[in-house]
A = this chain, B = another copy of it.
Amino acid sequence: MRPEEARSRLAALGFGSADVETLFDHFDDAEQRGKLGHGHSRIEWLETLDDLEPEATPVRVAASEGFERWDGNGALGYLTLAAVVAAQIEGPPERARVVVCSHCFPTGSLGWYVRKLADAGLVAALTATSPARLPHPDGGAPLVGTNPLALAIPSSDGTPIVSDVSMGAVTYGDVLRGAARPDELVPFGGEQAHKAFALALGLQLFVDALAGDGYGAVLVVVRPEADPVPALRERAAGLRLPGDR
């Protein structure tokens, strides 16, 4: 999909121009990074939803130095998390802050958000819940979402490390676009899938306990006190590291 077409289809859904740019940037970055399940195909998916509220705006319902609480208030999770990230960059914590987001779905590629924070010099960890799609390794109905964990660490060399790991062996987006079968959507890890399942379950309940009903997200944003990335890159001796293109 060409950028002009993507933008005009997003605008046709009723989004204002700033939101169109945010959504386009998110989907296009995922597309460019090969995360096709979070890429342009999501525009077609948005067109199938019948409960879009393109004029909704996320709300910061509580704020203190070390804690914020946001509510999507009907806005897409993409736009809620983008607003959260912009607010942290505008008013970063003196040391650390936990940000809890309720009614925040869908959130797409979490690496996109934490990379923006790292580009602004902040260390970030972000997780988000999504519909139950992964069964327990012993069987049964899907019990947990793919619940990714994204971590970003700024670097004085200008290239942050961005680790963004879904607990699913494939993404739901891959299933949506026909690149994976529904039965491949299980916790990753093969014989050790219980580990990815435990991570997905722990992250889901962590978010649920803080954000309450509905899908949510929790962000931890901290000012760094050290610059460990350049030395790690040197030790890695040219191996591709998470977040590298």
* Cβ-closest chain B residue relative to A140: B239
Q: Which A residues between 189 and 226 are near B, CB-CB below 8 angstroms?
A: 189-192, 195-199, 201-206, 208-213, 220, 222, 224-226
User: Residues of B contacting A141 with CB < 8 Å?
Assistant: 235
Segment at the B interface, from A1-9, A35-43, A62-70, A78-86: A62-70
User: Residues of B contacting A210 with CB < 8 Å?
Assistant: 123, 222, 224-226
Could you list which residues of chain A lie within 8 angstroms of chain B, going by C-beta atoms? 64-67, 93-98, 100, 123, 125, 136, 138-141, 143, 149-154, 161, 163-166, 169, 188-192, 195-199, 201-206, 208-213, 220, 222, 224-229, 232, 235-237, 239-242
A136 to chain B, nearest CB (A): 5
User: Residues of B contacting A94 with CB < 8 Å?
Assistant: 67
* Cβ-closest chain B residue relative to A221: B98
Report yes or no: B192 in contact with A169, Cβ–Cβ below 8 A: yes
A86 to chain B, nearest CB (A): 21
User: Residues of B contacting A150 with CB < 8 Å?
Assistant: 202
Supposing A95-B64, A161-B205, A165-B199 touch, asked if A212 and B225 sit within 8 A by C-beta, the answer is yes
User: Residues of B contacting A163 with CB < 8 Å?
Assistant: 198-199, 201-202
A240 to chain B, nearest CB (A): 7
